Amino acid sequence: MLNQVVLVGRLTEDPIVSEHDNNKRRTAINIAVQRAYKNSDGLYETDFIRCILWNCIATSTCEYCHKGDLVGIKGRLQNSEYVKDGNKKIITEVIAEKVTFLSNKKIEKNKN
């Protein structure tokens, strides 16, 4: 079986690390990924995908990346369940195994 996802998109907000049990660090980010084709109105649609980063990947991403930066993410899909108002909800997230920093707004501004 294979469960692998590769995404390239822009961060929708600044990442923030939180500490969990056993000194594990975690951050949840959302990336905006533009589709490769236009819809019937001639516009590109965008998907907003939630990604979970752990430990060193979470720390590095929070240190070097900010809202609007372009990142590449390689990971796997994972479903999580929770109950809200008596209804079972299922969400699908990407668990990041590798994050590549593709652009940084500060660096791009300094080049111009």
Q: State whether CATH 2.40.50.140 applies to domain 5-111.
A: yes
Q: Between the CA of residue 82 and those of 48, 89, 91, what are the distances in Å? A: 20, 5, 9
Domain boundaries, the chain: 5-111
- Note the pLDDT tens digit of each residue in 36-75: 999 999 999 999 999 999 999 999 999 999 999 999 999 9
pLDDT above 60 (res 108): no
pLDDT of residue 20: 85
Answer yes or no: is pLDDT of 1 > 70. Answer: yes
- pLDDT over 80 at 82, yes or no: yes
Which pLDDT does position 11 carry in this prediction?
97
The residue whose two tokens read 């690390």 is: 17
pTM of the model: 0.83
Q: Which amino acid is at 23?
A: N
